[in-house]
Amino acid sequence: MKKAEFLAVLYEKTVFLPQYEREKLIEYYTEMIDEAMEEGYSEEDAVARLGTWDEIMEQVSANRTKTTPPAPEIIPPTEAGIGQKKTRRKNNLPVWAVLLLILTSPIWASIMFGILIVLFVLVIVGVALLITLFAVVASLAIVGVVSIPASLIVLFTGNSISFAVILGAALVCIGLAILCEILFSFCAGLFGTLIRVLFSGFGRIFH
């Protein structure tokens, strides 16, 4: 087969390719036949050494699904071009949005500040409440514990009614202290989780 005939058949056989790919293919095979002829092969041999039509067609459609044909790139395929593409994708806020964000900063910044202050006050109040509760429980416990020996002193002076009243009060104080302690630890647990939830929420807003 002569070169011209081969190329004509190849062109006919590749109708399924986009025109751009088809032309590239013809250019490539033209070059290959010319090279072989320059090396001393006869025209027929230069064509024959390219292989059978089955082999050629198999290679022609080898990565057909992968290469999307006409990619005439505006950006040259250099490192710089690739780098540009990547960095551009990173900042996806349009310019107007950034400007608006800066211009309205007196409003949203003060609102944010206000929210922060309120949260801070809430934390302080919570801590104060806890301290007060703790103080009450502690005083109850101290009164209870101290009142028991006190009641014994009263008993030795011979006043059995006063002894009974003071001992009763002491036991009530100790009982209340234990009850409050249970309540206290329960509330502390609740408060702790509340704080944690609030702060993780804030963390999510700022990250």
Partner 1 sequence: MDIQLKRGLLDICVLAAIKNEDSYGYQIVREIGQFIRISESTLYPILRRLEAANCLTVYSVEHNGRLRKYYRITAMGRARLDAFTEEWKEIMTIYQYVTKETTTHEES
Of 45-53, 146-154, 160-168, 197-205, the segment contacting partner 1 by CB under 8 A is 45-53
For residue 146, which amino acid is it? Answer: V
Q: Check binding of 65 to partner 1 (CB under 8 A).
A: no
Q: Which of 6, 7, 22, 60 binds partner 1 (CB under 8 A)?
A: 60
Q: Which of 25, 140, 170, 180 binds partner 1 (CB under 8 A)?
A: 25
118 contacts 148 by C-beta, under 8 angstroms: no
Minimum gap (Å) between residue 62 Cβ and partner 1: 4
Q: Check binding of 192 to partner 1 (CB under 8 A).
A: no
Q: Which of 2, 20, 23, 27 binds partner 1 (CB under 8 A)?
A: 27
Nearer CB in complex with partner 1: 31/44: 31
Q: Check binding of 50 to partner 1 (CB under 8 A).
A: yes
Classify burial at 160, counting beta carbons within 10 Å of its beta carbon; exposed 0-12, middle 13-18, buried 19 or more: exposed
- Binding residues for partner 1 (CB under 8 A): 24-25, 27-32, 34-36, 38-39, 49-51, 55-56, 59-60, 62-63, 66-68, 71, 77-79, 82
